[in-house]
Amino acid sequence: MAGWEDPDVDLLYRVNGWSEQAPQWFSSLLGFLSEYGVIFGLMALGLWTWWTARARADSVTAVAGLLWAPLGASVAYAVNYPIRELVERPRPFVDHPDLNVLVEGKSGYSFVSDHSALTMALAVGIFMVNRRWGALALGLAAFQGFGRVYAGVHYPTDVVGGFALGIAVVLLLSPLASALLTPLTRALAASPRAGWLVTARTADVDGSDGAGAAGTAGAGDTTAAIAGGHARTGPPPAGEAPGGPAGRAHTGAHPAPRHPNARV
């Protein structure tokens, strides 16, 4: 067992040792980001991805995929609990009290890292919907994993195990999640009040409706004109010659030539 832990411990001391060489404010900031900042950053990135995904043609499936990201992270967190209780690996600062611990008050077992499982599950969920923002999310998750070792609260293998757990849960359960969540987002998209949560293409729909209404109105005007024309095909009104305007409109008769000296 010691042979398996030696490379892990050596890398832990190397990375955590950088915190003693860096300015105190920088190390404190990195410890805060690894504990809270990255998770909130991924949540904000997920919200932005959802906002932009609403304008896509496949917004129903895209929003369903983004719903799975936090749900998958929650599943990974729940799956990790029995793993930690089974392995019972102490925190690194318990066995190595000379580490520079940047996040105080951590308790519980070390393997696998909850933070790493959560952030990687969120990042993979975003990546499955949007490659560009997903790549940024994966970078944030990797940065968070580095921060956990830098802060002295996890071994490197704790972080790797958390990453593997988050990826496995999101990818393996993704087909089932899509089958369950897509009908929900489709129903929301059809809702007059909640449809904006899934699609932002209401302007296009409204425009199409407006065009349809205009077309209907135009058809109505044409029908009225035709009906009026048919109404005038009967005998001309009193005082109107058969060759008058109404008669000409439907008989095609030409007006009689005007005398050159006639007054206009």
* pLDDT tens figures, 168-217: 999 999 999 999 999 999 988 888 888 898 888 654 434 344 444 344 44
| CATH of residue 124 | 1.20.144.10
Distance CA 200, CA 242 (A): 60
Residue 247's pLDDT band (boundaries 50, 70, 90)?
very low
Comparing CA positions, the residue from 107, 49, 43 lying closest to residue 73 is 43
pLDDT for 137: 96
pLDDT at residue 231 in the model: 45
Q: Is residue 255 in some structural domain?
A: no
* Domain tally, the chain: 1
Q: Decide if pLDDT at 160 tops 90.
A: yes
Kindly state whether residue 57 falls inside one of the protein's structural domains.
Answer: yes
In this predicted structure, the answer to whether residue 246 has a pLDDT above a threshold of 50 is: no
pTM exceeds 0.75: no
The answer to whether residue 22 is domain-embedded is yes
Q: What is the pLDDT of residue 218?
A: 44
pLDDT, tens digit, 9 for 90 and up, residues 78-121: 999 999 889 889 999 888 888 988 888 788 888 999 999 999 99
Give the percent of the chain with pLDDT over 90.
Answer: 46
Give me the domain span that covers residue 6: 2-197
Domain presence at residue 207: no
Please report whether residue 106 resides in a domain. yes
Closest by CA to 46, choosing from 65, 25, 23, is: 65
User: Please, which pLDDT band fits residue 258 given cuts at 50, 70 and 90?
Assistant: low
Give the per-residue pLDDT at 82. 93
For the ranges 44-48, 60-64, 131-135, 242-246, which has the lowest average pLDDT? 242-246
Concatenated DSSP letters of 193-244: TTGGGT--THHHHHHHHHHHHHHHHHHHHHHHHHHHHHHTTSSPPTT--TTS
**Within a domain: 249:** no
**Rounded Cα gap, residues 79 and 168, in angstroms:** 11
Cα distance between residue 161 and residue 158, in whole Å: 5
With a CB cutoff of 8 Å and minimum separation 6, the contacts of 155 are 8, 9, 12, 89, 92, 110, 111, 149
Tell me what the pLDDT averaged over the chain comes to.
79
* 239 occurs within a structural domain: no
Q: Can you give the pLDDT at residue 255?
A: 53
Residue 241 lies in a domain: no
